[in-house]
Structure 1
């Protein structure tokens, strides 16, 4: 119930007419160029993104996922296009996007590190295949729940019941491919996570993805929308490029918020109270029901907490380890791409943080 059956006639109809009329179809998420629905394809549960054909670049970018097969990347099963619409059919693991988890739980440092290591592994693989993702953020990281998984690398004794998968390659490019971004505020990707070189339309590299991951790491710790006091994307882009504004510079953000009358009230600083239109819900939890009641929130929090306390509560991180984590994301978002940590260096430093918590 609530799932599209993607047989051949139905796919042809979707390619012609776009999103289904039925209100019973379960929507997993909405983006600028299309909507994601829960569906059945070849007797398996999948997610299908229906994209308007005018967004030809998005369909082209999604095709980069076709040859990528990695445990930390959502698998693309089929891509079809027609005159009016295109279909992107992907695996649909049981779980939630990282954004919803951050909205619900304060993640212990150990899990923030494990999540980041999963994303680093996905990016390292993408980069080895000459693909840049260019839209790394919590809404594009799916946390598949209920999967018994060991830690990474030398940390096989660290047990957990989830694995993270990078998704949404609608902004991806092949390395060396021209990426015209005449107006950064209308570009593919998400401005609050874009590196200075992306905003300037410069030549891009692996470092551009590392920058976005650094912003994401900060968000996992702070649980706030990047640059949360500001609504004006033009202001954010200018300040990031010209004055090296970063989301942890609360003093500068407060001054800018006071100078920009259209921006958010500084007192509205908690992430869950920030501009909700600036984030998308790509929850892949079929049991999730939207609701604001305290009981529903508590139940959802308790259900999620089970996956992040599978072996009892994670050990509390020391101030020293939290500081090390902060220093890492700051090393990822320096302005000069060549001065940022490489994915190999980031992986190594994250593993050092994890070592005392084994």
Structure 2
């Protein structure tokens, strides 16, 4: 689950949707002139919508709700809804930072209007939760496609499954496809890591958990507001140095995180060891990165080519990193020679 987000990221209270009057949540966009609400057209003609998400959940159609997992900002369940297996995510108020958990719910919907093979599809989301389906600690509920019970973190560190070159190249290509699509629509994820990439029963990777995401336009990429919103968001082991320094948000922050994730796929090792504060300092001040030069996984010709790609992805200068499209092209070339 995402790290707490500062109060400055939140909408003014007077334009939040109210549970009492039955208004439901919508994605947020950050533009140079402020925040806007994007209210989707409701289309749910007797079955789960395939193109647009709905701001209404038909609660009586939920069946067989079973817990799957939980985290600091909510719980995830498997359920049957209108004839389909779905994932139900209930976002709860964080006792220490209720405003941050509310913003996490809204951020989850930044990519709700997008449809792509490598992004978890949102079916419906609402802040209107009946008493018999929620509790006082619930902010809202999101229905998503049910991808499966595995994430990339489990695949990498579970130990039982083989993770050969052809497989990690395919997984990383899936993630790059998803990132390229998100970035083309102005969405930055800001928390790319193995635990936030789900692996389907068909062995396809899908980017999930948009609780740290931000919708950008060209006017706000380098603004000081963007920097204040982002530098505490995400997971410290995968966070780009410019975000650690409080600088502006851009899609290149996701490329840095992707580089750390790709290294984990190749090596099946943790990226860093030692004290958290030391890692944070060393990443910024001394360009600390996971080991490539001395790791056996990078001694082959393919390994050296991947090492070169990683060096570009986690460059200290965001402008020196490749785009998601460039990363994808590089990975496709590597796959052609496997």
Gaps spanning 5+ residues in structure 2: where?
Answer: 1-56, 129-135
Q: CA deviation at 1:132?
A: 0.2
2-structure distance, mates of 1:245, 1:118: 27
> Contact conserved, 1:134 with 1:189, CA < 8 A, in 2?
yes
Contact 2:77 2:89 in 1 (8 A): yes
State the aligned residue count: 257
Is 1:102 aligned with 2:153?
no
Shift of 1:32: 2.2
Maintained 8 Å contact 2:65/2:80: no
Matched, 1:43 2:83: yes
* Contact 2:116–2:178 (8 Å) recurs in 1: yes
Task: Tell me the alpha carbon deviations over residues 255-277 of structure 1, each in whole angstroms, 9 at most, x when there is no partner.
Answer: xxxxxxxxxxxxxxxxxxxxxxx
Q: Distance in 2 between matches of 1:323 and 1:41?
A: 47
Instruction: Tell me the secondary structure at the aligned position of residue 289 of structure 2.
Output: coil
Q: 1:72 aligned to 86, 96, 118, which one?
A: 118
1:349 aligns with 2:330: yes
- Kindly indicate whether residue 223 of structure 2 is the aligned counterpart of residue 196 of structure 1: no
Residues 106-127 of structure 1, C-alpha deviations (whole Å, 9 max, x = no match): 4111111111111111011101
Query: Pick from 93, 110, 115: which aligns with 2:147?
Result: 93
| Aligned equivalent of 1:163 | 204
Rounded Cα–Cα distance in structure 2 between residues aligned with 1:321 and 1:249: 13
Q: Which has the larger share of helix?
A: 1
The partner residue of 2:215 within 156, 174, 184 is 174
**1:310 aligns to what?**
none
- TM, length-normalised to structure 1: 0.66
What's 1:320 paired with? 301
Check whether the contact 1:108–1:317 (CA below 8 A) recurs between aligned residues. Answer: no
Say what the alpha-carbon RMSD is for the aligned residues: 2.7
Q: How far does residue 218 in structure 1 lie from its aligned partner after superposition?
A: 0.5
From 271, 274, 277, give the equivalent of 1:226.
271
Indicate which of 158, 168, 171 corresponds to 1:112. 168
Counterpart-to-counterpart distance in 1, 2:300 and 2:281? 33
Q: Residue 61 of structure 2 contacts residue 82 of structure 2 at CA under 8 Å; is this kept in 1?
A: no
Judge conservation of contact 2:68–2:149 (CA < 8 Å) in 1. Answer: no
* TM-score normalized with structure 2 length: 0.70
Partner of 1:208, secondary structure, is helix
- SS of corresponding position for 2:328: helix
Runs of 4+ in 1 over 6 A off after TM superposition: none
Q: Which residue of 2 is the match for residue 283 of structure 1?
A: none
| TM-superposed deviation, 1:9 | 5.7
Matches within 5 A, 1:1-358: 7-8=58-59, 26-53=66-93, 54=98, 55-82=101-128, 84-94=138-148, 96-103=150-157, 104=159, 105-145=161-201, 147=202, 162-175=203-216, 176=220, 178-179=225-226, 181=228, 187-227=232-272, 229-230=273-274, 232-248=275-291, 319-357=300-338
